Structure 1
Amino acid sequence: MRSSVSAAAIAAVLSLAAIVPAGAASKAQVKRGEYLVNGPVACGNCHTPRGADMAPIKDKAFAGGFPFNDPGFMTYSANITPDKETGIGSWTDAEIIHAIREGADKDGRIIFPPMPVPTYNNMSDEDVKAIVAYLRTLKPVHNVVPDPKYAIPQQTMPPATVKKSPPQSDKVAYGGYIVNALAHCFECHTSPGANGVPDFKNGLGAGGFLIALGPGMSVATPNITSDPDTGLGKWSDTDIKKALTEGISPTGGHLSPPMPYSNFKNMTDSDVEAVIAYLRTVPPIKNKVERTDFQKKAFP
């Protein structure tokens, strides 16, 4: 006997089938965003304020207010929780994405440096949307952040054009994507030029950039090029992984903030391996970086 199915029943089944993947995709997107925010992008490393002991203040996670005192600016990390008055709760997805990848807030105010917008300008559409999806799930925290003061010229980045990230099967390419679009490694680990800003042309990855964590608390970033004498050239993969995820050097020394090893420890083994594979390709630059007295004392 031949059975018949009504058009309405078919429509209902198709409608249900369409709903299920959408819900699954939404959960996957939030999960990806959670991984990025708490892993390679390490948003909380700057956007969570710290106490006098430099430990993150847990009940103010992502609520901003961490100070950045530089000769060219005095600014504070923004509140990126969904609080509608002091955070991004009233922002549209497009406004948040524009701030992340182009560097201007919803009112048109330029928000970098130190926000690593030049790096995030290389972030894919799929990943930046995932980050926004996860930020929407955070607990709103009411925290007023002081306005920044800049003594240097600013300009936004051009519209982002990266639609998709490289395939994870290509370790070097994907590792380069993590380093140059997500983890913003070179924003800190590049040597400064004559003007004091990172010289990406001549000092990429060579370190020696001074970062002020507070009065008398400056740190010098290490050389992460493949140079065998002053960089990572003689480090084993295990050495680099331990530095990235535990903050421990091959000699047993402790790496200092703002190195976000507490975030990098959340990265998958595959992603860490991809980063290491890419770092092996960074051209060697001989630049011996001496740790500051603060680093030697606080992080022996």
Structure 2
Amino acid sequence: MYNQQIRIAATLGAIALGFAAMAKANADDQVERGRYLANIMDCGGCHNTGAFTPEPNLKTPLSGSMIGFEIPGMGIFYPPNLTPDEKSGLGSWSEDEIIAAFTKGERPDGRILAPAMPWISYGHITPDDARALAVYLKSLEPVEHQVPGPVGPGEKAPAPYMTVKMPE
């Protein structure tokens, strides 16, 4: 009887370890899937420091850009820091808040995202892929890098920006 109890306990322990390994593998898979999605969605095309220059900084991926977009009549928008830094990034955002931002254009504070952010297209992402992207963003090394906030029409920009020329 005692030997049978030991075998049952050992079996249950092995099963628990297997589930723990599967959970870690699933989390690792989500991070890798999220990294893949961030690359094909070209998140770094705007959100990398040095984006829009010949030498983007790939050592601190997705830590925000100091070069903004001007949309006539709307203002200038700088791509924010997407790392989990508490001060200047998404550190205080939940995964669900991150998903709402890139799929619905909704920030946790109620503001909408800049119109240059293609959240309408990203809104078609599957729920599993959306979660993987959020998990990946939360897994990044936090980088404290504050980018300028939005600048209203006619206000002085604190940093360089590109502009959209509307057809006449």
> Structure 1-normalised TM-score?
0.46
Question: What is the one-letter code of the residue matched to 1:19?
Answer: A
Equivalences for residues 68-107 of structure 1 within 5 A: 68-73=69-74, 74-107=76-109
User: What whole-Å deviation, never above 9, does each CA across 1:44-82 have from its counterpart, x for those lacking one?
Assistant: 001013278443134553111330011133111111011
User: What whole-Å deviation, never above 9, does each CA across 1:154-190 have from its counterpart, x for those lacking one?
Assistant: xxxxxxxxxxxxxxxxxxxxxxxxxxxxxxxxxxxxx
| Mapped partners of 2:51, 2:43: distance in 1 | 17
Match of 1:214 in 2: 162
Equivalences for residues 102-121 of structure 1 within 5 A: 102-121=104-123
| Mapped partners of 1:87, 1:59: distance in 2 | 16
Question: Identity over aligned residues, as a percent?
Answer: 35
Change (3 A) 1:13 1:148: same
Change (3 A) 1:131 1:13: same
Bigger helix share:
2
Question: What is the one-letter code of the residue matched to 1:122?
Answer: H
Structure possessing the higher relative contact order (Cα contacts under 8 Å, 6 or more residues apart): 2
SS of the residue aligned with 2:162?
coil
Equivalent of residue 134 in structure 1, options 130, 133, 136: 136
Equivalences for residues 182-193 of structure 1 within 5 A: none
| Mapped partners of 2:54, 2:24: distance in 1 | 40
Match of 2:28 in 1: 27
Change (3 A) 1:60 1:27: closer
SS of the residue aligned with 1:214?
strand
Q: How far apart are residue 150 of structure 1 and its match?
A: 5.7
| Mapped partners of 2:96, 2:58: distance in 1 | 28
User: What whole-Å deviation, never above 9, does each CA across 1:105-124 have from its counterpart, x for those lacking one?
Assistant: 12111113111010111011
Gaps spanning 5+ residues in structure 1: where? 152-212, 219-300
| Mapped partners of 1:28, 1:46: distance in 2 | 25
SS of the residue aligned with 1:132?
helix
> Structure 2-normalised TM-score?
0.78
**2:47 matched to 1:47?**
yes
Change (3 A) 1:112 1:52: closer
Match of 1:203 in 2: none
